[in-house]
Chains A and B, each alone.
Chain A
Amino acid sequence: MANTQHATTQHYYVPSSTIWPFIGSVGLALLVLGIIRMLNQQGGTILLFMGIATLIYMLYGWFGEVIRESESRTYTRWEDRSFRIGMSWFIFSEVMFFAAFFGALFYARHLSVPWLGGAGEEANTHEWLWNSFSAVWPTNGPANVGGSFEAMPAWGLPTLNTIILLTSGVTVTWAHHSLKIGNRQNLIYGLAMTVALGFLFVGLQMIEYSHAYHEMNLTLKSGIYGSTFYLLTGFHGMHVTLGAIMLTVILVRSMKGHFTASNHFGFEAAAWYWHFVDVVWLILFVFVYWL
């Protein structure tokens, strides 16, 4: 058992009181209140920006504190293990978040759309309500919601994006390797390339969206295809952005000389997250674009 490694006298660092989480809660509350008011068409933009600003301030303060502690060797392997467990299960929770949307995609493709088209148990549905509809994927449903549209082909930008993300997975691993053998120069190169590739991905994704909206009439309103397409790729894109920001912070820290060959959990956490985002993309590429 891992526990037997540390003696009874070992000390676990329990931080003293902190205001950051509370500020974080205020920030979250302002943020969602802003969005709520915007959705209700009661303004809200100011609240939204106040929320974002508060959250940035909080992250800056909170992580600043953690980084200071980390750099002053406050953490031992014991605390480090807590962070690892925490980060792993956080990523797991993100996986489950995406699972909800993939679930919706599979449900629509294998159940609801065929039913509407007259297959299986729900044959009455087709007969009585939608008898001119034939089920094919992609579809915007029997009511042709949002008007006819073109589906996003897999070969083209999405393939390029796949290559970009896969490459970024390699560069971040290279950076990690360099860190472990103490080659800081390559660490920084590797990270910088990863971040650049990440933002490039997001940029291309924006171009793809703009193309979809303006030339293909593929919008959020394009029935179930548009819905699953945009929510899956959209949330993925948001996660890429977040991951890239995390890696940027790590890059800046690396340039400041943070991390050692044996102690660099912050780096690893960001890298794990990056790999997670990568894997989600692969699944997405297969099921949203390709098949």
Chain B
Amino acid sequence: MKELVEFIVKSLVDNPDEVRVYATEDRSETTLELSVAADDMGRVIGKNGRVINSIRTLVQVSAAKEGKRVNLEVLEADRD
């Protein structure tokens, strides 16, 4: 799941090197936290969250195959 999110997000942003996905798992649920360059936030979230919601939908498909639930959150970007 982590690889899927990384693969999608890196193909959508201008700064693929700054894409990080942190995964924490417990028995039934995986939480994925995504961080991207501040400039890429808009691209990853999309208008009305359309992009991130579509990514969530796709990750759910592969999570369901493992009998798990998945949460995908976008971490607030640090603006220095």
Q: Do A and B come from one complex?
A: no
